[in-house]
Each structure stands twice: as structure tokens, then as C-alpha cells.
Amino acid sequence: MLALLDNKYQIDLSKPIDISIPLTNTDENPIAWYIEKPVIEPVVFGDWIGKVSEGKSSTNFNNIFFNPHGHGTHTECLGHITNDFYSINQSLKQFFFFAKLITIEPEKIGDDFVITKENISPLLNTKAEALIIRTIPNQKEKKSRKYSNTNPPYLSEDAAVFIRESEIQHLLIDLPSVDKEHDEGKLLAHKAFWNVKDTHNVNSDARLNATITEMIYVSDDIEDGDYILNLQIASFENDASPSKPILYKI
């Protein structure tokens, strides 16, 4: 099924490209931020178990315990870092965007690997509403990696400022955070991208409708270039939600 967006971009809705990581209750689930794997288990009332295969229920009836920031692909709003409450469900009201996918090898700076403005600026050569960053090396192990205490690559403050000034509203990256794992709570890239100057008293020009999506996975067979992005979230009134970003070739 072909669709025409804004009388300009033609996409084939029958050929979605999923760049999310599924959430499971197995050891294959990726984990960040020092937590355990998700829990998906049937509800139990006395001797009644909400699982058809147990023979005591006509339905499967599971509880799910997870953390959107630490357990897989998620989309967050500036409420992730502010004293006042902001909800991703209220911040993200449109779901289709013109997107640019780029691939970057982070630079070795001291003991860190950093995505810099100089890495990004030559590649962000067309206007886009969303920027998708795939880092290399791009092993499939990203889909199950245990990131805690590994000092993953991150985005420099200058790079985040450049992305914001390039009018990118939605940033997607295949890392657990745009910021350094142990950064003393500075959150320089988050603050720069959302233009938040004071997390306890949010400035009037902060970017309330901009989002960051972390822990995606973009396989090597997906070419760099221009796409239409469908950014899907669950309707959580929370700073973040598990999400399912889908790309369509133009």
C-alpha cells in the first residue's frame, strides 16, 4: 500500500523498517542503569494462575514490570530531567517525520568514545525533523548488551547544541543515553538538546515538544539517507515510554 505524505513524499506502508529492540523477560534483553531484566509473569490469585498452559485459566493474564529507560527502546521528553512533571504522552502529538539516518564512528577522547559536532555536521546536509544516529562498530550484540558500568559512547555538548540549532526535533540513537554514564549528574547533552538551562525552573524557550529516543538498533543492511519516521509510543503519562520507531523508504 503506497501513501503520499504532504503531497510530496511517497512511501510504501507494506514495507516498514523496525529499528526498535523488543522487550523480553529473558537474558537476551538489553539492560542499562544497574537494574535487573524485565519481569513478565502471570497473575496469581490463590491457586488460580493467569496462564492457559497451566490449565487453570482461559486467558493469558500477565503482569509486566520494566523500566523504560533501562530495558530497551524508549522515547523521552524533557520531563526526564526537570523538577516539574512533563509527560511524553503530552509532548509527542505528531508521529510522522522526515528523518535523516547517519552512521558515525565515535572519536576516542581520553578514556571515552564521543560523538562530536565534527562527526555530525558533514553528514547532516539536508533539512530534517528527526535525526537517527547509528554508531559503529554495529554488532548485533547491541540488542542484548548489558551496558551498566561499561562507559558507552555518548554525545558531546557541542554536538547536541548543533543538532538543536539544526532544528532537529527528534533525536534517535543506538546507545543507552546521549550523555556519559558517570557524569556527576551534569546531563550536558540532554540539557543542550532540550535547551533546558535550569532543571528546577524551566526556561520559556525550552523545547517542550522535542524528544530523545535511545537504545534503538539499526541493522547494517539499512542504508544511510532520507526516510519517513513513524515514532510510536505507548500512552504513558510519564517522562518516557517504550517506543517503536519505524522507518519507511521514500
Encode pLDDT of 65-118 as tens digits: 999 999 999 999 999 999 999 999 999 999 999 999 999 999 999 999 999 999
Q: 235: exposed, middle or buried (C-beta count within 10 Å: 0-12, 13-18, 19+)?
A: exposed
Give the H or E element holding residue 242: strand 240-249
pLDDT at residue 145 greater than cutoff 90: yes
Q: What is the mean pLDDT of the chain?
A: 96
SS3 content of the chain, % helix, strand, coil (to 5): 15, 30, 55
In this structure, are strands 2-5 and 225-233 parallel, antiparallel, or unpaired? unpaired
Cell numbers 534483553: residue: 29
Domain ranges of the chain: 2-22+69-249
Q: What percent of the chain has pLDDT over 90?
A: 94
User: Can you give the pLDDT at residue 8?
Assistant: 77
Paired residues of 133 in beta bridges: 102, 173
Superfamily for 2-22+69-249? Putative cyclase (3.50.30.50)
- The pLDDT of 175-191, averaged and rounded, is 98
User: How far is it, in rounded angstroms, from Cα 117 to Cα 188?
Assistant: 14
User: Can you give the pLDDT at residue 3?
Assistant: 73
